[in-house]
Each structure stands twice: as structure tokens, then as C-alpha cells.
Amino acid sequence: MLAMTTDFHGESRKSGEIKNTLTRIAQAGFSHVHWCHEWTGAYLYSVYEMLQMREWCDELGLKVKGVHATSGERGSDLKDYTSSNEYNRLAGVELVKNRVDLAYILNAEDVVLHYDPPWDRIEKGEEDLRDIIKYALKSFDELEAYCRTRHIRLCLENGGGPPVLVCRIYDTLFERYDANYLGLCFDTGHALIYCKENCLEYAERYNDRLFMIHIHDNQGEKDEHLIPFEGRFDWEGFAPVLARSPYRFPILLEPAYRVEGDDRVWLQKAFEAGNRFLAMVEKHCKR
């Protein structure tokens, strides 16, 4: 089983084009999608849009492996669940709840969420770590009951930041919240860029929290979102790590098709690469 992100070829705002993208994903052989449209920004889905998405997926025989939530507009604290401005923070909580509702209606179990605190301030020691993350903690506290009643887990996606500081924050969060509520989304591309030769660090350290993955590749310098095995990520090393985690199939791919024109050949290539990695993981699952 394999999943593909819905925004692999960009994010259309036209319903017909979105459905056409889902159709091509299904025709390529994928069994699941990861809903990534509007993963950044402040767009609030209507329940009727959510029902339309579910209808499309049902019609095409696609299941949904998670929803990518948004932490608001880039470069702004509007609708940002980590904002020190209480109204903006509450609006950000409302935005995350919207994506939790979407996951619930789409019968998904996990919602991926970015958390990128001001790493420079933490690194300089200008403020205590808990003071830096207190607004995020307040929001996670408020979201907990909402998520639990819908049986939705939030999964923090590893992004930038010095690994030693990232681990300090993850340690704090995972000590505070259990695995039924808060987990890790391990992004292979981000791990290679920011952790370099120790690219499996987060997947190994937080293996019991690994409930979501974003599988793509790069050369270790920029977030290229290549098809797996086209870059330098350690797929052989990651396969047994994923196999012993609580992650449940399908394998979730997040490469990007960044040229104009027909993407069907590219989708087939991605599908084949996904199956190649799936076989590697299954080999370790049988042991």
C-alpha cells in the first residue's frame, strides 16, 4: 500500500482540478492520499467542502493517510497557535481544529503539524526554554480534549533547528503528552538536510512516537522533494527503524513534480520507488 500527497503537482483552488489530481493518483495505483492542500495559510474548510473531499475519495477508492494542518500564514503571527498575542493564538487553535475536523470526516487518524520556535533565541539562551514554548504548550493543552474525542493524533513534523535543541523541545513535549495524542511525523528530506550524516536521529530517538512519515529525497543541501532513491538519504538504514516503529502502512510519499505537463509517467516512477522501499520495510517486519 502506498500514499501520495494531494499537492504533489501544486495546489489548485479549482474543485475540478483537485478531483483530476486525485483521479491520476488513483490511476497510478496508489491506495491512499495524504491531504496536503492548504497546508500553509489561513484557509478554513467548510464542512461541505470536507464532505465533497470524502465523496471524491470514496468514488475513486482512495483512503486518507492523514491530513497536513497549517500553523498560519508564513512570516505572520495571524492564526498562529504559537503566537504570544492571545487572539492570534486562539485563532490558530481554531485553524488546527478545522484540520482535525477534516481528518475526522475523511476517516484519517493523524494530523501533521509544523512547530518551528525561534531557534536563534533558544540557541543564544536569551530566554528559558519553557518560556519560549509556553504559548505552544497552552495551545496543545487546549487542543488535547478536542483531538481525543475525535480519536485524532497530532504529529509534529521535524523541520529546521539545531538537532540538540529540537530534541530538548521534543523531550519536553513527549514527556507532557502521551503517544495517543502527540507523535512524530518523520520527514526524510528535512532529516537529511538538518541532521546530515545522523539523518536517522529523530526516527531512532523517538521511534515509539513515529506515527507519520513524509518520504522524499534530496542531495543534502536543499529541500528538493525528489522521488526516493534519487538523492542521498539512507533508505537501507531507515527501513528497519520504520519496521520496528508503531507506524502503520501505507508508505507515504511526498515528492514534488515541479515541471509543466503530463505527470503520469512521473507518478508511475514514484509508485515504483515507493514499492521498492515498501519491500525493504516488509523484509524487516517479517523477522
What are the extents of the domains in the chain?
2-178+258-285
Q: What's the pLDDT band for 157 if we cut at 50, 70, 90? A: very high
Q: Does residue 287 register a pLDDT over 60?
A: no
Q: Does residue 43 register a pLDDT over 90?
A: yes
Compute the mean pLDDT over every residue in the chain, rounded to the nearest whole number: 95
Instruction: Give the C-alpha separation, 209 to 225, whole Å.
Output: 24
Q: What's the pLDDT band for 118 if we cut at 50, 70, 90? A: confident
Share of the chain above pLDDT 70, in %: 98
Quote the pLDDT of residue 51: 98
Residues 179-214 have pLDDT tens digits of 999 999 999 999 999 999 999 999 999 999 999 999
Quote the pLDDT of residue 75: 81
Quote the pLDDT of residue 148: 98
Quote the pLDDT of residue 152: 98
Q: What's the pLDDT band for 100 if we cut at 50, 70, 90? A: very high
Residues 259-284 have pLDDT tens digits of 888 999 999 999 999 999 999 999 99
Quote the pLDDT of residue 163: 92
Q: Looking at 113-122, 140-149, 236-245, which range is the least confident one?
A: 113-122
Q: What's the pLDDT band for 132 if we cut at 50, 70, 90? A: confident
CATH architecture assigned to 2-178+258-285: Alpha-Beta Barrel (3.20)
Q: What's the pLDDT band for 286 if we cut at 50, 70, 90? A: low
| C-beta contacts of 47-53 below 8 A and 24+ residues apart | 47/101, 47/105, 50/101, 50/102, 50/105, 50/106, 51/105, 52/15, 53/102, 53/105, 53/106
For the chain, the straight-line distance linking the first and the last C-alpha, in angstroms and rounded, comes to 20
SS (H, E, C) the chain: CEEEECCECECCCCHHHHHHHHHHHHHCCCCEEEECCCCCECCCCCHHHHHHHHHHHHHHCCEEEEEECCCECCCCCCCCCCCCCHHHHHHHHHHHHHHHHHHHHCCCCEEEEECCCCHHHHHHCCCCHHHHHHHHHHHHHHHHHHHHHCCCEEEEECCCCCHHHHHHHHHHHHHHCCCCCEEEEEEHHHHHHHHHHHCCHHHHHCHHHEEEEEECECCCCCCCCECCCCCCCCHHHHHHHHHCCCCCCCEEECCCCCCCCCCHHHHHHHHHHHHHHHHHHHHHHCC
Quote the pLDDT of residue 119: 80
Quote the pLDDT of residue 127: 67
| pTM to 2 decimal places | 0.96
From 134, 132, 136, 107, select the one nearest 121 (Cα to Cα): 132
